[in-house]
Amino acid sequence: MFPSPVESILCIEIPESRELNPNQSIILYEVNGIIVKEANNLSFNKYKINVSDLLNGMYILNFRDTDSVLYTQKVVIVK
């Protein structure tokens, strides 16, 4: 995931070794648990998420499968 901190476009690269399936998703949460961005049915290893409409601050990014979190990363937005 880059850049960090992010200003407008967050780039996410999922390792080629990870097999993607339609049950996986990328979810960006505010620290209070509210979902602000979501990408479902993953079929590519590279994603760009426009965060320019979000306020400055810290967010949590989860890469999830149907019933479990596979990866968690904090995201800082600074404009």
Contact 5, 76 (CB under 8 A): yes
What are 40-63's pLDDT values in tens digits?
A: 888 788 889 999 999 999 999 999
Per-residue confidence (pLDDT) for residue 1, from 0 to 100: 82
- Please compute the mean of the pLDDT values over residues 60-79 and round it to a whole number: 91
Q: Is residue 4 part of a domain?
A: no
Q: Is residue 47 part of a domain?
A: yes
- Inter-CA distances, 70 with 53, 55, 61, 66, 73, Å: 26, 26, 11, 10, 11
Q: How many domains does the chain have?
A: 1
Q: Is residue 43 part of a domain?
A: yes
| Tally of residues, the chain | 79
Q: Is residue 17 part of a domain?
A: yes
Contact 35, 61 (CB under 8 A): no
| Better-scored residue on pLDDT, 55 or 68 | 55
Count of CB atoms within 10 A of residue 61's CB? 18
What are 8-50's pLDDT values in tens digits?
A: 999 998 887 777 778 889 999 999 999 999 988 887 888 899 9
Global pTM value: 0.87
Q: Is residue 3 part of a domain?
A: no
